[in-house]
Amino acid sequence: MQNVLVSSNTQASPALSDVFSRLGCELNEFQSTNQIPKARTAALATAEQDTDAAKGLILSMPTRRNMLVPISILPEEVLSRIFRFIAFEELPYSLGCVHLRVTHVCRRWRQVALDDSTLWTPFLDLPRNKDWITKRLSRARNAPLVLELDKSMGKDTLSLFTPHISHTRELFLRNLSFHPEIVQEISIQKAPILECLELEALDSLQMDNEHVGHLFFKGTLPNLRILRISQSVFPWSLFPRGQLTQLEVILIEEVSAVPSLGSQHDDLNQLIGLLVASPSLEVLTLHNCLPTMLSESSARQTINLPRLSRLCLRGSSSRVTNLFKMLKLPSSTSLRLNCTSENTATHNDYHILPILSEHFSDPTPVKFRSFKLNLDHAHHVIDMIASTSLPMSPIRHATLIRADGDPELWLSFRRVDDLDGADILRRACNVLCLAHLEFLSMWSNSPNQFINWSEVFQHCTEVTMVDVYGCGTIGLLQALTPPKRADTTAREDSDNGRGAQGQTPNDNDSYAPARGYVPIFPKLTSLRLKSLDFNKNVVPGSGVLFNLVLNAVQRRKVNKTPLTTLCIEHCVIRGKQAKVLEKLVCGFRWDYLGG
């Protein structure tokens, strides 16, 4: 490397000195012969040639300098790979800018970028300039393309892409029902290397099936692996089979809710045939597209999907239950099941629970360690999230209940009333393997919730961490309090919060546990309280929430199962109340809001 630098530097100086020496000599000659017209003309021509030569030499100096920069030693293959990392790690809308930047650094970089056709293949949310698109298509040559076409493009712009479908690897068509002629052009093209196809029509549930119904489906797609269809309805018989690894069909409304769509998308036998013929599926998502026949169907056939890693079903409770009953899946398959309550005489929402229990018990029982509840009584929604892993930071700042990583089960029920919801929770906790549960998180927005949490979580004796959010979690806080002993406990005056006083809670207090009561979570050490008002009555006419929390903390300490961590976030609590709790819990944390 050192020899190269020396050689390059020694070659640069003589070139410049020769030019200046020659210019000096010619200037002297010109001055001595400037009175002769012919000589003056010849000297002028020579000067112009020398000027051009000098300009060329000066312009070449940055190139010669760039050749000495360490990155210029990299082979073209390595430099091209770096450009790909730069391009494909950027957001789709900035791809064009990335390409422009690398092509305007130096000649070598530009040439390397232009020679690498893969840098020019993504057409995702790019500017609609026809000249720029044409130039990119030319630079991409015959490399596999990634195309995103939507209604915002004009007809002329869309037409630029149709001849290139034959070498397109990923194709995203969005809202093209407004351009039926373009859809027709695309549909007659062959797509032998297509691996991913996504159709989305947000403006209407049903696209013009005269044009779209046969889009790519009648041709051979030997490499198609991923198929996503959103807000478009096709007969199941038209779906490609055999090679799919991901299938996603999403509708906003259930098929039966739109009578005109039922006949096209309501053939259960065709859906079963599609799934049976797709044993390589790894991800299956079916939202609101399950056939009506599933409402009355039993497990008439077994559908074996040995490679499935994720299953997402949404629809009427009976349809989700009956389809799930037909599927034979690995116990490692993560489930996203969203059931809309029906409460019919022949079907109850909880019928899916024993099937779930069987799924997570065959062949080896799945041991859940994390369980999260979202009880939205205002919208009649219950979400249950179970995972075999623990949150990275169980007591952390968060505004929503989320699963960390990829939970094995996400079970939701819509349109359930309070009584049915309580029954579903009780049954779910009985059939799911929660004996090894360590972390529980619950959010509830109903202040009038009547659920016997001691019964619901009676088998969860290993819980050490609990998060509670919202005014509907008072019942769970009551269940955390150990039975009363003959001890003296401090409690704050129920109204003014002026500090703890030596009093013993009465057995008649609404928050005092009944005699013979056995508390849940005997190993609880960490508790986080969020979005609660410590100065609000637990039940109208009774003591404030602070008394309940203080009572629970003191009782657990007396029972030799004390809390080691207590976090209070976004709660209405007085500073004096917080100081009382801080003296009782060594790991006390408070965000100082509401003080």
* CA-to-CA separations, 209 to 172, 180, 235, 262, 316, in angstroms, rounded: 18, 10, 10, 14, 26
pLDDT of residue 327: 94
Give the separation between CA 92 and CA 36, rounded to whole angstroms. 67
- pLDDT score, position 241: 80
Whole-Å CA distances, 168 to 137, 144, 156, 158, 191: 12, 5, 19, 14, 7
Q: What is the pTM of this model?
A: 0.78
CB 426 within 8 A of CB 455: yes
Q: What is the pLDDT of residue 365?
A: 84
Are 324 and 305 in contact by the 8 Å Cβ rule? The answer is no
Token digits for 148? 């995103």
- d(C-alpha 556, C-alpha 191), whole Å: 68
- What would the 3-class secondary structure string for 129-148 be? CHHHHHHHHHHHCCCCEEEE
| pLDDT at residue 541, rounded to an integer | 54
Distance CA 148, CA 175 (A): 11
pLDDT, residue 334, reads 93
Half-sphere exposure of 203 (CA within 13 A, CB side): 11
DSSP β-ladder status, 334-340 and 370-376: unpaired
| pLDDT value for 12 | 44
C-alpha–C-alpha distance, residues 377 and 447, integer Å: 10
DSSP code string of 531-577: S-BTTSBSSTTS-BHHHHHHHHHHHHHHTT---SEEEEES-B--HHH
Look-up: residue for tokens 């359930």? 416
474/548 Cα distance (integer angstroms): 9
pLDDT values of the chain reduced to their tens digit, one per residue, 595 residues: 334 433 444 444 455 566 666 666 666 665 655 566 777 777 777 778 878 777 877 777 777 777 777 777 788 888 888 888 877 665 444 445 556 678 888 888 888 989 999 888 888 766 667 888 898 899 999 999 999 888 888 888 888 898 999 899 999 988 877 777 887 788 778 888 999 999 887 544 344 444 444 455 556 788 899 999 998 887 888 788 878 999 999 998 887 644 554 455 678 888 999 999 999 999 999 999 999 888 876 656 899 999 999 999 999 999 999 999 999 998 889 999 999 988 666 668 888 999 998 888 877 888 899 999 999 888 889 999 999 988 865 554 443 444 455 789 999 999 887 777 788 888 888 888 888 999 999 998 876 667 888 888 988 899 999 999 988 888 888 888 876 654 444 444 444 443 433 333 443 344 444 444 456 898 999 999 998 999 888 765 557 889 889 988 998 888 888 899 999 998 999 999 999 999 999 999 998 876 6
> What pairs with residue 246 in β-bridges?
226, 283
Q: What is the phi-psi region of residue 521: left when phi exceeds 0, alpha when psi lies from -120 to 50, beta otherwise? A: left
Residue in the block written with tokens 């530009």: 110
- Per the CB < 8 A criterion, the answer to whether 275 and 249 are in contact is no
Terminal CA-to-CA distance of the chain, rounded, Å?
68
Give CA angle at 117 (115, 120), nearest 5°. Answer: 120
Nearest to 216 by CA among 255, 244, 185: 185
